[in-house]
Chain A
Amino acid sequence: MAIKPTPSTTTPHPPTFPAHTFAKLAPPTYLTAHLTSKGGPIRPSGRSPTQFRTPTCHAGSLTHAHGSAVVRCGDTAVVCGVRGEILRAEDVADYRPKAVEEEERVDMEMHSFQKVTKEKREDSEEMACLGLLVPNLELATGCSPTHLPGGPPSTLAQTLSQRILTLLHTSNLLSIHDLRIWFRPPASPPTRQGQEHEVMGEEEEMAKAEVKAFWVLYIDILFISLDGNPFDAACLALLAALRNTRLPRAWYDADRELVLCSDDPAESKQLHLYDMPVPLSFGVFEGDEEAKGKKWILADMDGFEEGLCRENITIVVGEEKRVVRIEKDGGGSFGGRDMRGLVELAGQRRMEWIMILRNGLP
């Protein structure tokens, strides 16, 4: 793609620009020229407007995390590590134990989907209250020249962290059942003679299982390289890392008043993911002065395109193309009618991602 200005009288050869110079000098014109090219709209990266980059995913490469994943999506590369730590129930200010039974989890799987939905929502509320999910997104790793370390997290990093936190809670991705650590006192205490008297007195109360502690999941997402669409890449890394997470078996030791874990990998348990919410981000490009009134929807934008689109849409779809979340900002040229097609597209992407997540994991 080159532009030839009218030759002046003094220079015999008019200067020509290579494509990347053109892109730097007049970005909107450059993108419009691509999108209005004769062979149909095509983006500078060679993709069609609604084509997304195929990600690659590699899970379980970090030693110290309970779950981890490395995701590369075009030139955007993300590392996500999930680490479990223990929150004791007595450390929670005004903690009121809910009337839940340990066995409930087994029953739940027999419930129908609709019945469970309400319970899930309550669980999510409880998780949010206790703060069991702690996602943090770090851009200040020098992943792009605009994000250098030193100073507080940028607005973008803060926004993305909050968006991921909201997504975790609204999508009911995880269940609090997996994160509870139970203590069930022995029903018949005569094994320990010294304590027999004391325990016998409280038998009524103690026989009931109680939640002694919770797992808190610290989810840290680090960008190694950033070239557009950080939210989608972060979400894929998050999903892959959560799928990869194995928490050790934990129990409450009444004698030492401690939560202990087993270091046997065979006893550790995988986190159960109840859904696979897959986001798809779009931008609406309105063209330069010559292409007034036209608009193009660009899926999975790279860094160059992101700088040119004012209107951004993110659609998160779950199972059976159920819309989990729609985020939209920056303009009004895009209506509900167009949204339907995008949901369809996001559904396709979800299938693709699920394949990648399955194949990318051991």
Chain B
Amino acid sequence: MDRRRVNGPPGGTTPPCYASTSSGKTHPSSKRTRGANEIRKIFLKTGLTPSASGSAYFELETPPTNHSNSLTNRTPALKLTCTVHGPRPLPRSAPFSPQLLLSTRVKFAPFAARQRRGYIPDSSERDLAAHLETALRGVLIGERWPKSGVDVVITVLEGEEDCPWHALAAGNQNGRTGGWGMMSILSGCITVASAALTDAGIDCVDVVIGGVAAIVRQPAAPAQLVLDPCPSDHEEIIAACVIGYLQSRDEVTETWAKGNITASSDGMGTTPMGFDALVDQAVEAAVAARRVLVEAIREGTEAKIQGSQIDFHAIGAALNIKENAARMRFYRLRKAIEEGEPGATPTKAATTPTKRKKDQANSDEGSAKKVKDEEVVDEAEGGEEGEGN
């Protein structure tokens, strides 16, 4: 018993038991309405928690429900918030670390799932956090912050379900205790954490995006490969795979596959469905999600730039160029970002207006704000060579 929280009645309580489900009467399950190659719409926004270094909110589109006449089988939409704190100095007691220490935490809100979840972290949350850490560690340029740490905290406000509701109610989960919903949640976590890290201005080699693909089978139909499976849409999921993908470098930082992949290639389908195909499809899903991520980062950065008045005079003075030249460089860079290929440039620009402290400051040029803006131009001149390492 946790004495530091308000506890429920000592006798214990049970979640409501619905008459319709316990009597075996079921509603028809929802069906996937989008194509096999389509992912759900994503809403992504950065900067929701101003006091954190970086933050982002992620939401998947609410699936259309054609039977909203029941309280039991409303389909949830994945909702995540992420905050990034740091980089900040490690406590004095901590041993020396030449790299940025990353710590990730994933927590489900008590109302995130059908069963009320407690406040004490459970194994699935620790599992998600470990996977997320692997995915993010590969993109952070850790050696730029020795002796520092960064915390990535994700709260799952609403999770994804593991299987169709009627199967859950009937107690028949097809042996699907594995938690397919976790796969989508991890993919969302990777994307939202990436957006928040960029918002915090922590240098990354690229943005990492999560993608999920699964091999599913409807009754009396051959197995099929789909992107971004919503577990409550599918009768049976045979295997699923989550990846964390860097598009501009074509690298994968995290892979998590589950299920029986060989079982699907039993000659029923014509397309190959091995592990490679599954990963390829997950990459496809990640590429599709990337556009949303880049757009969200761009919006967030624009809001930041507009929020701060740029003093081109000071920038010009610092760079030994005329005020107008500084202004032109800035707009040229911005134009390049807006029109350019969604490769390295936007992410780079997004990481530049950071809260990094430069000591070559301020006595003659003026404010810290000016220094911040100066970096935008500064690093644009530096080009992309500095990016990759």
Q: Taking beta carbons and an 8 Å cutoff, which residues of A are in contact with B?
A: 11, 13, 15-18, 21, 62-65, 68, 75, 77, 79, 81, 83-88, 91-93, 130-132, 134-136, 138, 141-145, 148-150, 152-153, 158, 161-162, 165, 216, 218, 220, 222, 224-227, 248, 250, 253, 258-265, 268, 303
Contacts and interface: CB of A to CB of B under 8 A. Distances in A.
Given A165-B6, A226-B51, A265-B69, A141 B153 contact: yes
B369 A18 contact: yes
Top 7 A-B pairs ranked by shortest CB distance?
A: A91-B11, A142-B153, A81-B111, A142-B83, A85-B13, A63-B76, A225-B49
B33 interface: no
Contacts of A165: 6
28 contacts: A15-B362, A15-B363, A18-B367, A64-B111, A75-B49, A75-B51, A83-B111, A85-B14, A86-B17, A134-B7, A136-B5, A141-B81, A141-B153, A144-B49, A144-B51, A145-B85, A153-B5, A153-B119, A218-B110, A222-B155, A224-B155, A225-B51, A248-B16, A259-B14, A261-B18, A262-B20, A263-B20, A268-B71
Contacts of A144: 49, 51-52
B15 interface: yes
A227 to B, nearest CB: 6
A79 B19 CA distance: 30
Contact of B366 (A16, A142, A250): A16
Contacts of A17: 367
Given A81-B109, A216-B13, 14 more contacts: A13-B364, A21-B368, A62-B158, A68-B111, A79-B109, A83-B116, A130-B9, A132-B9, A142-B52, A143-B49, A144-B52, A225-B48, A259-B17, A265-B70
B112 interface: yes
A63 B16 contact: no
B14 A64 contact: no
A142 B5 contact: no
B114 interface: yes
Nearest to A268: B71
Contact of A93 (B10, B74, B77, B366): B10
A143 B8 contact: no
Interface of B: 4-22, 48-52, 55, 68-72, 74-77, 81, 83, 85, 105, 107, 109-114, 116, 119, 151, 153, 155, 157-158, 362-364, 366-369
A253 B119 CA distance: 32
A117 B344 CA distance: 67
Contacts of A142: 49, 52, 83, 85, 105, 151, 153, 155
B223 to A, nearest CB: 29
Contact of A135 (B6, B155, B369): B6
B114 A64 contact: yes
Given A64-B76, A224-B81, A262 B18 contact: yes
Given A64-B114, A75-B51, A224-B48, A148 B19 contact: no
Given A83-B110, A148-B151, A92 B9 contact: yes
B8 A134 contact: yes
Contacts of A262: 18-20
Contacts, number: 187
B175 to A, nearest CB: 24
Contact of A222 (B22, B51, B157): B157
B9 A216 contact: yes
A62 B157 contact: yes
Nearest to A161: B6
A44 to B, nearest CB: 14
Contacts of B52: 142-145, 225
A303 B51 CA distance: 9
Contacts of A68: 111
Contacts of A253: 19
B77 A63 contact: yes
A158 B2 CA distance: 11
A218 B116 contact: yes
Contact of B9 (A64, A87, A220, A263): A87
B81 A264 contact: no
A65 B85 contact: no
Given A91-B11, A224-B81, A262-B18, A161 B5 contact: yes
A227 B110 CA distance: 23
Given A226-B51, A227-B51, A263 B18 contact: yes
A220 B85 contact: no
Question: Max chain B CB contacts within 10 Å: which of A218, A261, A262?
Answer: A261
Nearest to A77: B48
A224 to B, nearest CB: 5
A91 B5 contact: no
Given A11-B363, A142-B85, A224 B368 contact: no
Contacts of A63: 74-77, 158
Contacts of A143: 49, 51-52, 83
